[in-house]
Amino acid sequence: MPRPSRQKPAVIPKQAIILLSGVPATGKSEFARHLARGYGFAHYDLECHPRGWPHPELKAMWDTSRSGFLAQLRVEYHDRVVLDWGFPPSASAWVEELRQSGAKLVWFHGDIARARQVFVQRGGIAVECFDRQITAIKEAGYPVSLRCIIVPALAYTRGFLAQHEIENLIFT
């Protein structure tokens, strides 16, 4: 039987915009789906337009202005939004624009060897894509240079961090 947690449950704000980024295969999309199912967040998988967007018509605004995109989301569509985006370091100016517009940046970190195993097991994308992204992340100095919440989402031996533990790291 699992031990009860001594930590108070996270209080999820009524209005929140979260940008989940990080090492591929560390659980970003799963956590975004958890927020959508459990707390009513609108989940935008920014790499899967139009199918991963509740309002795909907002893509033109996203491409033009991230601050305008967030403003439109807040005013016209959603109180709670989770943006799921394993952005390339070349998009760091866009990430900064999101931060300055009120998005909370959260970086899912983890054991690279274990994440690579998960990535390969998941299939669908060539492992060379994972390797290139990891190289780019290291060269950019991420996550430290991002000034973000770092979630130790995947350890080699214990696996993925529990959803409620991630909530506590982000929302408390």
State pLDDT tens for residues 3-37.
555 567 889 999 999 999 999 999 999 999 999 99
Q: Do residues 29 and 84 touch, judged by C-beta distance below 8 A?
A: yes
pLDDT score of 4: 52
- The full set of domains in the chain, from first to last, is 16-171 (3.40.50.300)
CA neighbours closer than 13 Å in the CB half-sphere of residue 119: 22
Buried b (16+ CB within 10 A) or exposed e, 95-109: bebbbebebbbbbbb
Closest CA to 118 of 24, 53, 33: 24
Q: What percent of the chain has pLDDT over 70?
A: 96
Q: What's the CA gap between 78 and 45, in Å, rounded?
A: 15
Single pTM value for the model: 0.92
Which amino acid, 18? I
Taking residues 93-116, report their average pLDDT. Answer: 96
Comparing 5-19, 73-87, 109-123, which segment has the lowest mean pLDDT? Answer: 5-19
pLDDT score of 10: 86
